[in-house]
Structure 1
Amino acid sequence: MYEISSTIEGQHHNLYKLEQLLKPQGYSIGGNWDYDHGYFDYKIDDELGYHFLRVPFSVVDGQLDSPGVTVRLERPFLLSHKYQQGVDDFAGTGTFSGSFNQFSEPVDPDATIPKKYISYGKDLVKDLEEMLQD
């Protein structure tokens, strides 16, 4: 994991409006959300596993499954997971399938982030800061 300091930390946003802004840019709400917190994920690459920028958020007012919920953005970070090659080849290969696939355990769930993705991740965060200027 590699954290990236950002001016978006602590910002409050309506989740629906935030989704409308971020989804066309390639972000999706990750599958490991709960009623009081979640993540926007941006898939960077799936070379030997997957690498993505994750933007955590927590609920300020409401619940994630309720209309009108307000969330607070937290510190973005890069995350890499490396998966075993050849294991569970029949398990499906959709976007983020490795992150949700119960049959394929990561070889390294907190793999080292390649340098090329650190620079790219910082650029993605700068883009987010511009989009979300208060």
Structure 2
Amino acid sequence: MKFENTNLEQHVINTSLLTEIMEELGFVLAGQWDYERVTYDYKFEVRDEVFYLRVQAYSVEGSTDSSSSKVQLLTPILGKHYYPHGVEYGEDEVIPTSVVERSNELLKKAQEQIELVSKFIIL
């Protein structure tokens, strides 16, 4: 499931600042990290099911391990984890309303924090 119209994808932000914002919201910098991309995951566990809200970004300046690098945010996605195959993000996945609502709240808070930081820091 994609979260269109969050306005997150309109932002270019310093990678270190983004990591700080996302970690404060409970996201984890995922193991898919490399020099050109970053991925932040928020894990939901509902009964026996696991879902991941994923916010991804790609480098537009510098490599992501540099404190001065900047990344362009992408459209957030929400998927269901299937053991041992991984996460599926298809539109036909059944995701509890509570997970979707919480995801919207987290994305809104991330958007607000990024906009706040952008007003006071020259990125």
> Aligned-residue CA RMSD in angstroms?
1.9
Q: How big is each residue's C-alpha offset from its partner over 1:60-118, in whole Å with a ceiling of 9 and x where there is no partner?
A: 101112231101111111111032xxxxxxxxxxxxxxxxxxxxx23x73153223211
State how 1:43-82 maps to structure 2 within 5 Å.
Answer: 43-45=43-45, 47-82=47-82
TM-score norm. by structure 2 comes to: 0.78
- Aligned-residue sequence identity (percent) comes to 26
Partner of 1:3: 2
Residue aligned with 2:104, SS: helix
Separation of aligned partners in 2, 1:61 and 1:30: 20
**Contact 2:50–2:80 (Cα < 8 Å) also in 1:** yes
Mark the runs of 5 or more structure 1 residues left unpaired by the alignment.
84-104
Q: How big is each residue's C-alpha offset from its partner over 1:29-62, in whole Å with a ceiling of 9 and x where there is no partner?
A: 1111222112111122264242121101000101
Q: How big is each residue's C-alpha offset from its partner over 1:4-25, in whole Å with a ceiling of 9 and x where there is no partner?
A: 1211113011111121222122
Partner of 1:29: 29
Partner of 2:121: none
**Contact 2:2–2:76 (Cα < 8 Å) also in 1:** yes
Residue type of the partner of 2:3?
I
Bigger share in helix: 2
Confirm or deny that 1:131 pairs with 2:109: no
Separation of aligned partners in 1, 2:87 and 2:25: 26
Structure 1 residues 48 and 8, CA gap change in structure 2 (3 angstroms): same
**Contact 1:48–1:82 (Cα < 8 Å) also in 2:** no
Mark the runs of 5 or more structure 2 residues left unpaired by the alignment.
119-123
TM-score norm. by structure 1 comes to: 0.72
